[in-house]
Structure 1
Amino acid sequence: MYRILIADDEPMIRKGLQKLVEQSGQSMTSIRTAENGFHALQQIQEERPDFVFTDIRMPKMDGLELCRQLAELDSDIQIVVISGYGDFEYAQKCLSYGVKEYLLKPVSKKAVHDVLDKLVRVSARQRTDTFVPVSRLEQWIAEMDDLVWSLREPELELLLEKLRKELHHYSLKLARFCDVLEELNLLLAKRLSTRDVFSLQTHLDLGGARDVEEAWSRFAEGIWSIVRDLKARRKGRAKDPVEEAKHYIEEHLAEEVSLEEVAEYIGLNASYFSQLFKQSTQETFVQYRTRRRMEKAKKLLQQPHYRITDISGEVGYADHPHFTKTFKKYTGFLPSEYRQNLGIE
């Protein structure tokens, strides 16, 4: 998928080029246009294109100056210069800025399609030359996902530094470096989304990054932003969510605590929490809470000074008959029978 920017001060030419590009059959993410070099440079800083088609003669900033600034900003962007016969010598000055492709006016459909085919082939070679294995990206993200989810910040900091150094060894150009960071961010977002956690903010904007250091800084800040968000959702608690839920249930056995209330307390989506709890305990939330209530009731029944009616309230049953029925279903005995079997009258 490629992003294209067309810069020309003549609206009809811009529209014509855009149509020819759309008809090329190449896979395009976006095709944007600009009426001069200055406007084009603004758009490039907002979202980096893969290919730029630029006229030579434009107001405010001409094509030559645009090429010069692009060479300084990002030499990986492939530029196609469009010129008339009278401007050809002038256009050749762009050679020093890395421009290798020209289109002469009037531009034909075949010429545009041939140039695009060439640009795509060159781009594919560049990406292959600086290839980072997908399996390696997935390994990094598997580790990162685990550390982010469990809020193990010191380990996450070490992992990020290790990742930064490893990426540095690939000697990636800015464009490819940004591609890799965006891919990492996307993989992390997918992993977190399977946990269904609060729609955590995982958007990464690398548009206009001046160098790999700035791109990395934005990426790392995005990761720490997710951590801060997750900590805030969990009210600053970095414990295992299921263990924390168990503790909360234990502390509130005498109350009619709902699954939604516990999920909100530990900072998880209720639907995801329900799945996570069942997967971890092999019991539903209600089954676990009932079992813990009955276990507590058995301990209290072993103490003669507790009345059975008081015990039902201690374990969250305001309706005594309901407690009696549940206890018998769980143990096979009525509360009074359970006590008698223990020799307690």
Structure 2
Amino acid sequence: MYRILIVDDEPMIRKGLQKLVEQSELPIESLRTAENGVVALQRIGEERPDFLFTDIRMPKMDGLELCARVAEMDADIQVVVISGFGDFEYAQKCVSYGVKEYLLKPVNIKGFQNVLEKLIRTKTKVSSETFVAVTKLEQWASRMEHAVWMLQEAELKGLISEILEELQAYKLKLNRVIDILQEIHTLLHQRLNVRDVYLMQGELELTGAADEQEAWCRFTAAVHGHLEELRAKRKGKLKDPVEEAKQYIETHLAEEVSLEEVADFIGLNPSYFSQLFKQSTQETFVQYRTRRRMEKAKKLLEQPQWRITDISGEVGYADHPHFTKTFKKYEGCLPSEYRQQMGIRT
């Protein structure tokens, strides 16, 4: 199954190329279009295509810059440049960005079919060179499931390091690494749920990972999250961990509480807790804590008996200037100005 992206600022040409792709009888997973390079990069961020067909002259971002940006991604995307006869010398500049196929306008059926056949042959060759056996993925998922089920955190950490080292030896492209990590996680999730004791929550979202390191961080956090979730359930902790964290932060606003401290309090791995908290609240731990501090500060400022210097300490700022600076950034005015707006003399 192939994913194809067509980029051209002329609607008729986009439709014509779409029709040629459909007539090719390729097994197509998705066929999408974009009117310029900027939109194309957004589409690529959402889903990496196997084949990219792009015009040269386009508004906002032309084909040459698009090819350069795709080359920087180190992604296994095969690019075909479509150009008018007068743009051919310009199109040849794309060679340095890994573009090996060109189509001259107007595109005819035979020329298009020939290029598609070349792309497929190259894709098949690359796939065979970077093939990781399904049995290997199943073996990893099985070992991982045992470590998670038995709450063997050290063994799980070692196994993930082992998988990382072995996959790096394959020198895979980012999209291939993402596919493999996604598959391992799916197999792990299925094995844990088939035990029919606990329904494991959590999904792994790797689309949009900027690089391999980010993909691995997300994968590691998700896997350790399953272990932490299982541990919490076995302890009979039925409370929502994020709500527990919020309550803890609320009662410790006057202290410099760290993410690690809160994660330890509710019994979660810090990396997993950070990801879980952001998904649940749409804020980072620090953003949430700062917002709650500023909201409490506003309530105290509305009470005349509180001195501003005392309020800064009450919401966790030993450094008074830091408090006033943060308050202004959050509220748009100084604490003293906020009081004046309330009709309270400082």
Q: Calculate the TM-score normalised by the size of structure 1.
A: 0.64
CA pair 23-209 structure 1, distance change in 2 beyond 3 A: same
CA distance in 2 between partners of 1:156 and 1:218 (Å): 15
> C-alpha distance in 2, partners of 1:43/1:30?
12
User: AA paired with 2:118?
Assistant: K
Q: Which amino acid aligns with 1:65?
A: E
1:26 aligns with 2:26: yes
Q: Whole-Å Cα distance in 1 between the matches of residues 234 and 155 of structure 2?
A: 19
- Please list, as runs of the form range in 1=range in 2, the aligned pairs for 1:1-345 lying within 5 A after superposition: 1-196=1-196, 199-201=199-201, 203-235=203-235
Quote the sequence identity (%): 60
Distance 1:33 1:139, change over 3 A: same
Letter in 2 for 1:33: T
Q: What is the CA–CA distance in structure 1 between the aligned matches of 2:23 and 2:199, rounded to whole Å?
A: 38
2:71 maps to a residue whose letter is: A
CA distance in 1, matches of 2:209, 2:180: 14
Cα distance in 2 for partners of 1:19, 1:199 equals: 45
8 Å CA contact 1:185, 1:202 repeated in 2: no
Distance 1:193 1:111, change over 3 A: farther
Alignment-mate amino acid for residue 230 of structure 2: L
Q: Alpha carbons of 1:208 and 1:83: their partners in 2 closer, same or farther (altered >3 Å)?
A: same
Contact between 1:56 and 1:64, CA under 8 Å: does it hold in 2? yes
**Mapped contact 1:8–1:35 kept (Cα < 8 A):** yes
CA deviation after TM superposition for structure 1 residue 193, in Å: 3.9
| Structure 2: distance between partners of 1:8 and 1:221 | 39
Which letter maps to 2:13?
I
Q: Which has the larger radius of gyration?
A: 1
Shift of 1:197: 5.7
- Aligned residue for 1:29, secondary structure, equals strand
Distance 1:99 1:119 in 2: 11
Call closer, same or farther: CA 1:198–1:70 in 2, change over 3 Å: same
Following TM superposition, by how much is the alpha carbon of 1:150 offset from its aligned partner in structure 2, in angstroms? 2.8
Letter in 2 for 1:54: T
Distance (Å, rounded) in 1 between the aligned partners of 2:16 and 2:199 = 41
Q: Distance in 1 between matches of 2:196 and 2:8?
A: 46
How high is the TM-score relative to the length of structure 2?
0.64
Secondary structure of the 1:156 match is helix
Deviation string 1:191-240 (CA, Å, 9 cap, x unpaired) is 23423466534533322323222221121122123333333444468xxx
Show CA shifts across 1:302-325 (max 9, x none): xxxxxxxxxxxxxxxxxxxxxxxx
Aligned residues: 237
Deviations 1:81-120 (A, max 9, x none): 1111111111111111100011111122332232222112
| Shift in CA distance, 102/49, structure 1 to aligned 2, threshold 3 Å | same
2: CA distance, partners of 1:17 / 1:212: 33
Q: CA deviation at 1:146?
A: 1.5
Q: Which amino acid aligns with 1:9?
A: D
Code of the residue aligned with 1:168 in structure 2: it is Q
Residue matched to 1:254? none
Structure 1 residues 236 and 45 mapped into 2: Cα distance closer, same or farther (>3 Å)? farther
Moved more, 96-105 or 153-162: 153-162
Change (3 A) 1:16 1:234: farther
Matches of 1:206 and 1:197, distance apart in 2: 27
Q: Which runs of 5+ in 1 are unaligned?
A: 238-345
1:330 is aligned to none
Q: CA deviation at 1:71?
A: 0.7
Which amino acid counterpart does residue 127 of structure 1 have in structure 2?
S
User: In structure 2, the residue corresponding to 1:209 is in which secondary structure?
Assistant: coil
